Structure 1
Amino acid sequence: MPSRPADYLRVVDDITEQIRSGELSPGDKLPTYAQLSDTYKVSVSTAQAALRLLRDRGLVEGHQGKGTYVAGQATKM
């Protein structure tokens, strides 16, 4: 089933809330694109778009070959 354009915002909103609530802390590793795709029932490209927006907002940091992690200053945003 193709993802709707707003699906990535649902993923962004949920992860943002997890960071703000403290459920995810600075330095915590986020799930892979495939895991996010499965969890949120979206395509891998939608999961990628969500993490890209979270990176643009400074909430997460991507590390080539290692994964995506909650940024150190994320809880202040």
Structure 2
Amino acid sequence: MTIRTPDYLRIVNGITEQIRSGELTPGDKLPTYSQLAEHYKVGLSTAQAALRVLRERGFIESHPGKGTYVAENPPQA
């Protein structure tokens, strides 16, 4: 039996990998909730949950009215 990764973790892992690989760098703007939801084929609340986890882990920063960006000093490991 295969254990399926929860949808929000697919987004968390994907963005974390993009940050660690240098594809996304500090200050880069992330897609909107709706763009993420469309890209990963999930609901808006799932995209919001993923960004909440990334924010709690220190990978991203949200600026109301401006968007969500890669943190200046994201965790390395």
Global fold match (TM > 0.5): yes
Please list, as runs of the form range in 1=range in 2, the aligned pairs for 1:37-48 lying within 5 A after superposition. 37-48=37-48
Structure 1: 4+ residue segments shifted above 3 A: none
75 and 22 in structure 1: CA distance in 2 versus 1, 3 angstrom threshold:
farther
Structure 1 gaps of 5+ residues are none
Aligned to 2:49: 49
TM-score in terms of structure 2 length: 0.90
Q: Superposition RMSD on alpha carbons, in Å?
A: 1.6
Larger radius of gyration: 2
How high is the TM-score relative to the length of structure 1?
0.90
Q: How does 1:1-77 map to 2 (within 5 A)?
A: 6-74=6-74, 76-77=76-77
Q: Taking every aligned residue pair, what percent have the same amino acid on both sides?
A: 68
Structure 2 residues without counterparts, runs of 5 or longer: none
Deviation at 1:74, TM superposition (A): 1.0
8 Å CA contact retained: 1:11, 1:47: yes
Please state how far the C-alpha of 1:76 moved relative to its aligned partner. Answer: 2.9
